[in-house]
Chains A and B, each alone.
Chain A
Amino acid sequence: MFKWLDPYAKPETLYRICGLWFPWLMTLAVLTLLLGTVWGLGFTPADYQQGDSYRIIHIHVPAAIWSMGAYSSMAIAAFIALVWQIKVAQWAVGAIAPIGAVYTLIALLTGMAWGKPMWGTWWVWDARLTSELILLFLYLGVIALSGAFADRQMGAKASALLAVVGVVNLPIIHFSVEWWNTLHQGATITKFAKPSIDPSMLWPLLLSILGFALLLAALTCLRLRTAILLNEQHRPWVRALAQQSDQKGNVPQTNAGRTV
């Protein structure tokens, strides 16, 4: 059924595709992020309750959404790696994990910074923040496991398995934390008490969300390319690439492989 995908699982092909996509994705990401943040931070009206501090939403919400998104895409790659034994998929797990961890960290830090004026303390055991913190632990586990083996391939496979286990657990952890939260806390301030968000605030937010997604994709392409080169360094095609770039005296170009 998925036979048509087979050629893309070849490291060499994927290396070139990632090389082709990266500049476009990166340019688009930078443009959208610039537009989204400048619009969001500079030109939207202040909130009637939260004043200007709500503007951090333009960083916090996209980072939080895509920290989850990155974990799911990592788990999908891990699943493919385990079931169909596709190597590039297991390298993709290692490529996405640190990006996802940084997104999670951004979401946590901005969440704390937002909490300070809203709740009066830097940290509140709010269900969302706690879940996000546990998500960070799960990311760190995947990263730590992938680096713990003398054999790099074994590390990649083990962390892929852990990512799949984690994604099964994630909803359970999320709901139990939410349940625990309602049990132990009084009603915390719900951030989205208002039923809808004003369109003038919504559009820059959507732009930022799109921008974070594009950035995630672009960085994944970049890291995956590096991982492919690292793992395939003894293959003839990488050697040919290295020789070419030696002659040119610069780093491998995106289309270097095609001129052969």
Chain B
Amino acid sequence: MVMFKAAFVREWRLLARQKADWLNPLMFFVIVLTLFPLGIGAKPNLLAEIAPGIIWIAALLSVLLGAERLFKEDFRQGTLEQLVAADEPLFAYVLAKITSSWCSTALPLLFISPLIALLLGLNAAAWQAIVLSLLLGTPLLNLLAALGAALTLSADKGGILLALLILPLYIPLLIFASAAVDNATLGLDYSAQLAVLAAMLCLAAALVPLAVLKALRLNVG
């Protein structure tokens, strides 16, 4: 717990000093969302229909964008190998990394979601569904992104490879999260989709940190 707090504080200090790390993915998210209406036309009906899908695709791309830097700096500076050698603090370190990356990349998306709902012409019920699905879905995004970052840590072409590995794993999340928002725009009940998202989140939260741990040990070794 001491270690978790120390690593978490350290992450926040780094984020405070490198604002681009969390501001850039956020700007990317907004820009991608503005591209869609420009590309396919701004008819309100059409926009509302495709909004759930494009919001979620933009969200997972922007999380992926921020993922590569997650362990890179600590790997380059040698912090990671010292942590692996010490073994014990590594798990708390991984948890702190994932938590702080969620706070820095996904939480801002929640804050600007009302704006996004306005831009895409969604009603209040749909916005609520977006917030709930983001709340349950984005931790899963960050967990899997951390796994990708850890797996490709010492690979030659990290960035694009990370996206190739992790995007197929996002498919279930994309399906259920956009279905939840979809149902909300139609005025239907979407608690079932949220329950599935919550179940997937629980499973991932239990297993992914262990896999990240293994991947980090492997890349350092």
Contact = CB atoms under 8 A, between A and B. Distances in A.
A and B directly contacting (CB within 8 A): yes
B94 to A, nearest CB: 15
Contacts of A245: none
A180 B178 CA distance: 11
Contacts of A162: 151, 165
A140 interface: yes
B165 A144 contact: yes
Contacts of A150: 156
A176 B171 contact: yes
B218 interface: yes
A149 B155 contact: yes
Contact of A158 (B168, B171, B218): B218
B207 A148 contact: no
A141 B214 contact: no
A45 B200 CA distance: 47
B20 interface: no
A165 to B, nearest CB: 6
Interface in A121-154: 134, 137-138, 140-141, 144-145, 148-151, 154
Contacts of B151: 145, 158, 161-162
A242 to B, nearest CB: 30
A5 interface: no
B169 A169 contact: yes
Interface string A155-178: 101100110111011001100110
A82 interface: yes
Contact of B219 (A138, A154, A172): A154
B13 interface: no
B176 A141 contact: no
Chain B residues touching A, majority SS: helix
A37 B219 CA distance: 46
A183 B179 contact: yes
A150 to B, nearest CB: 6
A154 B154 contact: yes
B168 A168 contact: no
B168 A176 contact: no
A184 to B, nearest CB: 9
Contacts of B176: 176
A154 B171 contact: no
Interface string A208-250: 0000000000000000000000000000000000000000000
Chain A residues touching B, majority SS: helix
Interface residues of B, number: 26
B214 A144 contact: no
A144 B161 contact: yes
Q: How large is the interface on A (under 10, 10 to 19, 20 to 34, 35 or more residues)?
A: 20 to 34
B211 A161 contact: yes
Interface string B174-206: 011001000000000000000000001000000
Of B154, B165, B167, B214, the most chain A CB neighbours within 10 A belong to: B165
A161 B156 contact: no
B161 A148 contact: yes
Contacts of B147: 165
A141 B165 contact: yes
A149 B164 CA distance: 15
A154 B221 contact: yes
Nearest to B165: A141
B152 interface: yes
Contacts of B108: none
A173 B168 contact: yes
Contact of B200 (A137, A140, A165, A172): A172
Contacts of B172: 169, 172-173, 176
Contacts of B211: 161, 164-165
B107 interface: no
A24 interface: no
A177 B175 contact: yes
B114 to A, nearest CB: 28
A166 B211 CA distance: 12
A144 B218 contact: no
A166 B156 CA distance: 22
21 contacts: A137-B164, A137-B168, A144-B161, A145-B151, A148-B152, A149-B155, A149-B156, A151-B154, A154-B221, A157-B218, A158-B155, A158-B215, A161-B151, A165-B147, A165-B169, A166-B169, A168-B207, A173-B172, A180-B175, A180-B179, A183-B179
What 7 A-B pairs have minimum CB-CB distances, sorted nearest first?
A: A148-B155, A176-B172, A137-B168, A141-B165, A180-B175, A176-B175, A157-B218
